[in-house]
Amino acid sequence: GWLLPLLQFPMKLDYLQISRYRGTTEGGDLEWIKKPALEIRDQSVLIVDDIFDEGVTIAEIHRYCMQQGAADIKTAVLVEKNSNRKVVDVTVDYVGLHVPDRYVFGFGMDYQHYWRNASGIYALKEQ
């Protein structure tokens, strides 16, 4: 809830849900849970996501927006992992924080459905 008040331009807001982590700490197959309801043809779209890890999820959302005829697509993430595991050639336009390649949670991101409400961003201990 801290980002939207900072965006000082007229906008329509929609929500989608797509996941690779359904209760795990490793990404699996993509699952569309909810697709956007608003018409995005000929619109500028800002995709906002919590984390950019391998790039698979944002690439799929970007592909979907292009398929729907979006005029312009930008991406913003709260966290981008510094890793060599990127599996797609996608770049993020706006990044809040770069973190090491570890599983992070808090500030809206969960660990096994817990800790979304943590007031900071934390990493699991390395094993």
Which residue range is the domain that position 53 belongs to? 4-99
Q: Which residue has the higher pLDDT, 85 or 51?
A: 51
Residue of 53, 89, 93, 101 marked catalytic: 53
Helix (H) or strand (E) holding 58: helix 56-67
Higher pLDDT, 23 or 63: 63
Task: Report the range of poorest mean pLDDT among 18-32, 52-66, 107-121.
Answer: 18-32
Res. 44: pLDDT tops 80? yes
Q: Tell me the residue type at 127.
A: Q
Q: Which distant-in-sequence residues (6+ apart) come within 8 Å of 1 by Cβ?
A: none
Q: What is the pTM of this model?
A: 0.85
Q: What's the rounded Cα separation, in Å, for the pair 41 and 65? A: 8
The reply to whether 11 falls in a domain is yes
Q: Is residue 44 part of a domain?
A: yes
Residue 106 inside a domain? The answer is no
Q: For all residues of the chain together, what is the average pLDDT?
A: 89
Decide: 35 and 16 in contact? Cβ < 8 Å: yes
Residue 56 lies in a domain: yes
Asked whether residue 108 is domain-assigned, the answer is no
Find residue 79's DSSP bridge partners: 51, 97
CATH number at residue 41: 3.40.50.2020
- For residues 99-127, give the mean pLDDT: 90
DSSP state of 107: T
Is residue 93 annotated as a catalytic residue, yes or no? no
Number of domains observed in the structure of the chain: 1
Q: What is the pLDDT of residue 27?
A: 59
pLDDT digits (tens, 9 = 90+) for 10-25: 999 999 999 876 555 5
Give pLDDT tens digits for 80-110.
999 887 777 788 999 999 999 999 999 989 8
Query: Is the per-residue pLDDT at 1 higher than 80?
Result: no
Pairing of strands 17-19, 31-34: antiparallel
